[in-house]
Chain A
């Protein structure tokens, strides 16, 4: 296939692309949030009088005025703003609505709130302690999904359990048992566009929203539940989105802004977060600590794996409970382990809350499993690459949930061999004190973490000139799926890509449905749906043409923008058929062509009480390797080279796939080496800005980032394709950790691996390296 240029490129480079922030409606009010100044406390009084007296202010709405509405995707544990008590420092307690943003922001500082401060719990381990302050006293009363099981009178939002075989007793009988503890910091998605929402109620009671969200249909669905308003009365518009990375999945500020608009008679209300507010009010990635234990035979076969995850959700469960669950059910990841025992406990703390993040728990699990197994292979004295090859999943083996791997799942062994070869595994390293070179590998495995019923629609309609308009539900959040959709459709009809237009801007009342833009599912689901729509359109075209040519439908072919009889010379332009063929006497054969398609994977299952079942509609395998350079005297780690090898089944657009690979590598290197949201003991964020929250910039990562794509087609994928969006990150942090061990024999367990942290580890584990 020939790559086409991104369909959103021109709008973006010319500045024509509109984001929610750019939109303005008549009579629109601007909202600003009054945020809690304590991490945990009863709201005694909210006094808006000074703010209301300020010029330009129209209303101040407090959390208690909206407390009849509840939200939370898995547990309805929150109200649109804090009502009775605040559960984290920075939590919105009131909103000021004003005619301009400055008035709103300045008035927000004039709202006086009195708190009766309560003891706060910031550390998730402390949150588990008997007698710890309770973030949610009425946890058991919340409406929730059945599969989510909060423990009453505790801070435990959910415990996910996976049991395959009998890991506990096998561990006792293993030749070698290796155990270790790992942690991962809460981090920010650091998307370029902070959250922004406009809500406007129509006089007929319909709610219209414009939001920088990943998943317009999920926003609609969750709003419908929270507002007890049917989906058909809600229209969600999503213009261009400046990045999401999971942080804009689900429902966030939309509910609050809808209610604010309602409170002022339906006038349009806009809320745009500043970067600092975005650190507090918009959710981040969960923090994790994990105790892992692996049992092996002396030959190097993994016999059993036990991991106990503790997931820090912050003050509300949002997606964190499902992230914790997915972290659990990926189990031993890409390894064939007969006995797996996982507990994944998601806890509340008095901190800003967490949500989905690119990789959705599976990223976090890779840090634990790949570091632990590396340590085990080193202890056994087995080459880490050979160890992985020996223990990998292969056709016929089952994942930790019991899902079967088939020939169509891709070639994991080849991924690893290529990744190891290309990074120079086994070749000489040129280390010279104080700079040491090391290499590390990790396997990567992920499928979309989706409910079985998740699905996608697509439709396409032809225009008089033979061009066509295509609609799918996925949003363009930078990942490029829209471009691949256009490319697939153009190829199918054999027409120029510029003759295919896709709806880059979504409107739930017009766009085709898709469940969500998440989980590396978009090309797989929407691509399949669009190909079904293409097939539908083609059969209509064939029906028309068969009548025109007076042949059987099967004898008609479509390609190169033409409709023709196979093996014959008779052909029609697509444009003469797609609106109905008009005969010489004015009769019409057929009618305008509208292709419709949809896609679902029918045989997925929920997981049972042992965490067993078939959760993944598709799995992408990969292997990732790095070469690092460690300056032991400063603790600075440089990634000299990265190789990512993924079996994508089929690459639709190589340039875009490579962009995902490179973008994912930069993101993973950045989060592995730099990123953490730093809290003080009182739960305040010490670095709520992009000065002290460091995201890798162009000078921080070299361009020696290499991607290799294998193409063993997936029978279920659109033309065989699998997803890559999140997979691009998975193994990189562990590969870096493994490479550091390879370089200096120091085991790192905590992310991020900042220079100071590594220097301390070196001092503790290999003090002789620091002797000068």
Chain B
């Protein structure tokens, strides 16, 4: 069997205490802890201190003009929440695609975004829906927009002494689509989210295509597969040198898939 490395576990009971635990950095924040577990078992992560935020509340899903998902809300909770499914279907659909039911019962929406892994299923919705990360640090709260949140591969604008307490997703009118694609790995090689607003303008967001998430304004797009495929393929050519090439997929195949999957989503929305 595998053993986790030794680490000190901190279990703060409120936000203030949690923030103070983060001071000094070099700690790993865990909510559902699924990434911490996976990365530790794979020897990629060797945390010295783990701060679990499970006891500090932050379990609410708030629906108003926007959707706010707090840090301890699981993917399952969002995926099966009736109001989210009805009013923010892209968020619900994205959450329902992550891993498998057992993982979704533990893993959180916020975690899936803030980990900034290239296989994140939630990040496309976060980008497409003008998301904001509400962050609390020693000097108080601040907000980071989704566009500014991802600053490098596996890197975000969240500072080591800050906690993301919730994410917001703006309500958008229009049509949406989401898909992920897995081959011979449990992790998706690409996630695609698409939104077409009432004026017919299309935005698409990817994770897994390049080392960082991509958000593209496509403008008006044809809704037939062939037209969509050709346009997307042309647009993505600009990214072709940055496309990930790894164990799970070659760059060439990823680029091809991105065009196929996007065109299929566009075609599906048109029906």
* Residues on B with beta carbons closer than 8 Å to the beta carbon of A694: 183-186
* Residues on A with beta carbons closer than 8 Å to the beta carbon of B41: 689
CB pair A756 B247 closer than 8 Å? no
Nearest CB in chain A to that of B41: its residue: A689
Interface centre among B1, B257, B261 (most CB of A within 10 A): B1
Interface centre among B2, B184, B230 (most CB of A within 10 A): B184
Q: Which segment of A150-158, A472-480, A671-679 sits at the interface?
A: A671-679
The reply on A194 being an interface residue by CB < 8 A is yes
CB pair A756 B183 closer than 8 Å? yes
Nearest CB in chain A to that of B259: its residue: A772
The reply on B88 being an interface residue by CB < 8 A is no
CB pair A692 B250 closer than 8 Å? no
* Residues on A with beta carbons closer than 8 Å to the beta carbon of B186: 690-692, 694
* Residues on A with beta carbons closer than 8 Å to the beta carbon of B249: 756
The 8 A CB mask of A674-699 against B (1 = contact, 0 = none) is: 11101000000011011110100101
The 8 A CB mask of A747-764 against B (1 = contact, 0 = none) is: 000001011100110000
Nearest CB in chain B to that of A277: its residue: B2
Known: A21-B1, A687-B247, A756-B249. A674 touches B184 (CB 8 A): yes
* Residues on B with beta carbons closer than 8 Å to the beta carbon of A275: 2
A692 vs B261: C-alpha distance in the bound complex, in angstroms?
22
Nearest CB in chain A to that of B181: its residue: A634
A38 vs B256: C-alpha distance in the bound complex, in angstroms?
36
A689 vs B184: C-alpha distance in the bound complex, in angstroms?
12
The reply on B8 being an interface residue by CB < 8 A is no
B100 to chain A, nearest CB (A): 7
CB pair B2 A692 closer than 8 Å? no
* Residues on A with beta carbons closer than 8 Å to the beta carbon of B2: 274-276
CB pair B184 A634 closer than 8 Å? no
* Residues on B with beta carbons closer than 8 Å to the beta carbon of A678: 247
The reply on B28 being an interface residue by CB < 8 A is no
A675 vs B257: C-alpha distance in the bound complex, in angstroms?
21
Nearest CB in chain B to that of A690: its residue: B186
CB pair A102 B3 closer than 8 Å? yes
The reply on A178 being an interface residue by CB < 8 A is no
Partner of B247, one of A101, A276, A686, A697: A686
The 8 A CB mask of B34-53 against A (1 = contact, 0 = none) is: 00001001100000000000
* Residues on B with beta carbons closer than 8 Å to the beta carbon of A699: 100
The reply on A105 being an interface residue by CB < 8 A is yes
The reply on B7 being an interface residue by CB < 8 A is no
- Count B interface residues, CB 8 Å: 28
B232 to chain A, nearest CB (A): 10
A760 vs B229: C-alpha distance in the bound complex, in angstroms?
19
Partner of B185, one of A21, A274, A691: A691
Considering only residues 175-219 of chain B, those with a C-beta below 8 Å from chain A are: 181, 183-187
The reply on B80 being an interface residue by CB < 8 A is no
A542 vs B41: C-alpha distance in the bound complex, in angstroms?
62
The reply on A487 being an interface residue by CB < 8 A is no
B209 to chain A, nearest CB (A): 15
The reply on B225 being an interface residue by CB < 8 A is yes
* Residues on B with beta carbons closer than 8 Å to the beta carbon of A272: 1
Q: Is the interface of A mostly helix, strand, loop or mixed?
A: loop
* Residues on B with beta carbons closer than 8 Å to the beta carbon of A754: 183-184
Nearest CB in chain A to that of B260: its residue: A633
Partner of A692, one of B100, B187, B230, B256: B187
* Residues on A with beta carbons closer than 8 Å to the beta carbon of B230: 772
CB pair A772 B185 closer than 8 Å? no
The reply on B6 being an interface residue by CB < 8 A is yes
A7 vs B185: C-alpha distance in the bound complex, in angstroms?
35
Nearest CB in chain A to that of B249: its residue: A756
Partner of B250, one of A101, A105, A752, A756: A756
* Residues on B with beta carbons closer than 8 Å to the beta carbon of A691: 38, 42, 185-187
* Residues on A with beta carbons closer than 8 Å to the beta carbon of B62: none
A671 to chain B, nearest CB (A): 11
Interface centre among B183, B187, B249, B257 (most CB of A within 10 A): B183
Partner of A772, one of B100, B187, B225, B250: B225
A543 vs B100: C-alpha distance in the bound complex, in angstroms?
63
The reply on B248 being an interface residue by CB < 8 A is yes
A752 vs B184: C-alpha distance in the bound complex, in angstroms?
9
The reply on B226 being an interface residue by CB < 8 A is yes
A390 vs B158: C-alpha distance in the bound complex, in angstroms?
70
Partner of A697, one of B38, B100, B256: B100
* Residues on B with beta carbons closer than 8 Å to the beta carbon of A689: 41-42
* Residues on A with beta carbons closer than 8 Å to the beta carbon of B247: 678, 686-687, 692
A694 vs B183: C-alpha distance in the bound complex, in angstroms?
8
A78 vs B229: C-alpha distance in the bound complex, in angstroms?
56
CB pair B260 A634 closer than 8 Å? yes
Known: A21-B1, A689-B42. A759 touches B256 (CB 8 A): yes
Nearest CB in chain B to that of A688: its residue: B42
Considering only residues 1-56 of chain B, those with a C-beta below 8 Å from chain A are: 1-3, 6, 38, 41-42
CB pair B3 A675 closer than 8 Å? no
A678 vs B230: C-alpha distance in the bound complex, in angstroms?
34
Considering only residues 231-264 of chain B, those with a C-beta below 8 Å from chain A are: 247-250, 253, 256-257, 260-261, 263
A325 vs B261: C-alpha distance in the bound complex, in angstroms?
46
* Residues on A with beta carbons closer than 8 Å to the beta carbon of B38: 691
A21 vs B3: C-alpha distance in the bound complex, in angstroms?
14
* Residues on A with beta carbons closer than 8 Å to the beta carbon of B6: 102
A757 to chain B, nearest CB (A): 9
* Residues on B with beta carbons closer than 8 Å to the beta carbon of A756: 183, 249-250, 253
A202 vs B229: C-alpha distance in the bound complex, in angstroms?
72
A246 to chain B, nearest CB (A): 22
B121 to chain A, nearest CB (A): 15
Nearest CB in chain A to that of B99: its residue: A691
* Residues on B with beta carbons closer than 8 Å to the beta carbon of A697: 100
* Residues on B with beta carbons closer than 8 Å to the beta carbon of A760: 253
Nearest CB in chain B to that of A272: its residue: B1
CB pair B257 A772 closer than 8 Å? no
Known: A102-B6, A678-B247. A759 touches B253 (CB 8 A): yes
The 8 A CB mask of B148-162 against A (1 = contact, 0 = none) is: 000000000000000
* Residues on A with beta carbons closer than 8 Å to the beta carbon of B184: 673-676, 692, 694, 752, 754
Given contacts A634-B181, A692-B247, 19 further A-B contacts (CB under 8 A): A105-B3, A272-B1, A275-B2, A634-B260, A634-B261, A674-B184, A686-B247, A687-B185, A689-B41, A691-B186, A691-B187, A692-B185, A692-B187, A694-B183, A694-B185, A697-B100, A752-B184, A760-B253, A772-B226
> Which residues of B are interface residues toward A (Cβ below 8 A)?
1-3, 6, 38, 41-42, 100, 181, 183-187, 225-226, 229-230, 247-250, 253, 256-257, 260-261, 263
Pull 27 A–B residue pairs with CB atoms less than 8 Å apart, ordered by A: A101-B3, A102-B3, A102-B6, A194-B1, A274-B1, A274-B2, A274-B3, A633-B260, A634-B181, A634-B260, A634-B261, A674-B184, A675-B184, A678-B247, A686-B247, A687-B185, A691-B42, A691-B185, A692-B184, A692-B185, A694-B186, A697-B100, A754-B183, A755-B183, A756-B183, A756-B250, A759-B253
